[in-house]
A and B are shown apart, each in its own frame.
Chain A
Amino acid sequence: AQKITQTQPGMFVQEKEAVTLDCTYDTSDPSYGLFWYKQPSSGEMIFLIYQGSYDQQNATEGRYSLNFQKARKSANLVISASQLGDSAMYFCAMRRGSTLGRLYFGRGTQLTVWP
């Protein structure tokens, strides 16, 4: 069975500081994809970053980077230079295979950025 664990229900970070949101996953599939989404209070899920299980390098997208440690089955999201607008719920998700297929979500981490 596929499982995503986010152990931090809430995180606080000061503006302009970096923050790491933890995510561990469990799967026996050799091919899978890992995703991070941001959900502001408005409700829409915003795609942030993707890491494929066969990707050799950690994914980066602007201020977002994914610290992928395959042996430890972890896919932590690092947000650099936090902004007030980063305050939101963050979800880690996994999909089996490389295309199609449902997403398995963690419970999320509520990030609060304070000035």
Chain B
Amino acid sequence: KAGVTQTPRYLIKTRGQQVTLSCSPISGHRSVSWYQQTPGQGLQFLFEYFSETQRNKGNFPGRFSGRQFSNSRSEMNVSTLELGDSALYLCASSLVASGKTDTQYFGPGTRLTVL
């Protein structure tokens, strides 16, 4: 079974631009979560989606948004990019099934550099 895939893997943007990152979960997984990882702040939670609904949102400004589609694929968008948005963006998917441990499996990440 294929793992979580994220596209693109690397991205270079300039300040003020916007960017869209994509995440395809493991087949059958219904929940997708997004995390931002930086050397200074560590791993920070962005969003959690389940059945196309945002269930949780981290403490990020409104420039960060996301959505989940009916096939469980997810996208996140960052508008008006700032230098501080440079980070590794990790997507994780989980099965969400009664009686099963709900483990989040991560993709390889998208490394975003803002110049």
Contact = CB atoms under 8 A, between A and B. Distances in A.
B92 to A, nearest CB: 7
A50 B101 contact: yes
Instruction: Sort chain A's interface into a size bin.
Output: 20 to 34
Interface string B86-115: 001010101010000111111111010000
Interface in A81-115: 91, 95, 98-105, 107-108
Given A100-B96, A101-B56, A102-B33, A47 B42 contact: no
A33 B101 contact: yes
Contacts of A101: 48, 56, 102
Contacts of B43: 91, 103, 105
B30 to A, nearest CB: 10
A101 B106 CA distance: 15
Contacts, number: 59
Q: Which of A42, A52, A95, A99 has the most CB of B within 10 A?
A: A99
B55 to A, nearest CB: 6
Contacts of B102: 33, 95, 98-101
A37 B37 CA distance: 14
Contact of A103 (B88, B101, B104): B104
Interface of B: 31, 33, 35, 42-43, 45, 48, 50, 55-56, 58, 88, 90, 92, 94, 96, 101-109, 111
